[in-house]
Amino acid sequence: SQQGEEDPQALSIQEGENATMNCSYKTSINNLQWYRQNSGRGLVHLILIRSNEREKHSGRLRVTLDTSKKSSSLLITASRAADTASYFCATDFQGAQKLVFGQGTRLTINP
Amino acid sequence: EAGVTQFPSHSVIEKGQTVTLRCDPISGHDNLYWYRRVMGKEIKFLLHFVKESKQDESGMPNNRFLAERTGGTYSTLKVQPAELEDSGVYFCASSEFDRDLRGYTFGSGTRLTVV
C-alpha cells in the first residue's frame, strides 16, 4: 500500500501556539500536498511541495519534505481558532495520476 | 471562477436503493476525479476522467458503482444497489492539467448515509 500515515491523529493546543503535523509515505513521489477540511466542508488545498524542494512557506504555513526519510511536516504558526480542522497530506506518486491521502490529523485550537 | 460543485450535499437512503451523485467541475478542467472517505478511514481514490474517458478506475470498489462523464462536462457516480458500507463522504475534484502544480480543487462533498 502506498498510503501515507500522519501523526498525531489528534492535536489540541492553545490559540497562539504553533502546531506541527507529520506525514510519512512509502513510494517515490512527484509532489506532496497538504489539504484542510473544516467540519462538514470540502477539502481545501493549502500548499504543494515538489519532490526536489525541501521547504516551502505560505503565510503562517511552513512545509518541509525529506525524501530520504519519505516524510513531510506541516507547521502552522501562531494558531487561531479558525485553524481548527482536519489536515491531510496527499502524495502524488510516480507512475499514477492520483492522490494518496493520509488518515489526517484532527487539530483543535482552544481559545 | 465557480468552484467544483457537488450535489446533493447529503443523502440518506435505505440499503438496496439507488443513489446518484453529481459533480460539476470547474469549467475547462479536463481532469475530474472521484474520491471517498468512509467513516474514520483515509480518503481513497475512486477514479479519474480525462474529458469523457475513464483514465483510471482502479479505485472503484465493485460493480455496484458506475461513473459517467458524458460530453466531458459534469460527472455522475451511481451506486446501485447501495450497501451499508457505502456510507461516507464522496468528494469530487478537478484540475486543468494532468499534474497540476497548483493542486486539485475539491468540491464540498456529498455525505451519503445508507441505513
pLDDT tens digit string along B45-100? 999 999 999 999 999 999 999 999 988 899 999 999 999 999 999 999 998 876 66
The C-alpha cell that represents B109 in the structure block: 462533498
List the one residue out of A77, A58, A66 whose CA is nearest residue A24.
A66
Contacts of B41 in chain A (CB under 8 A): 103
Buried b (16+ CB within 10 A) or exposed e, A22-35: bbbbeeebbbbbbb
Contacts of A50 in chain B (CB under 8 A): 101
List the one residue out of A37, A29, A36, A33 whose CA is nearest residue A2.
A29
Chain B: nearest CA to A46, how far in angstroms? 9
Single-letter amino acid, residue A19:
A
Inter-chain touch A50–B98, beta carbons under 8 Å: no
Q: What's residue A2's pLDDT?
A: 46
Which of A40, A45, A88 is the closest to B105 by Cβ?
A45
Which of B6, B56, B91 is the closest to A96 by Cβ?
B56
List the one residue out of B34, B82, B38, B26 whose CA is nearest residue B54.
B34
pLDDT tens digit string along A15-32? 999 999 999 998 888 899
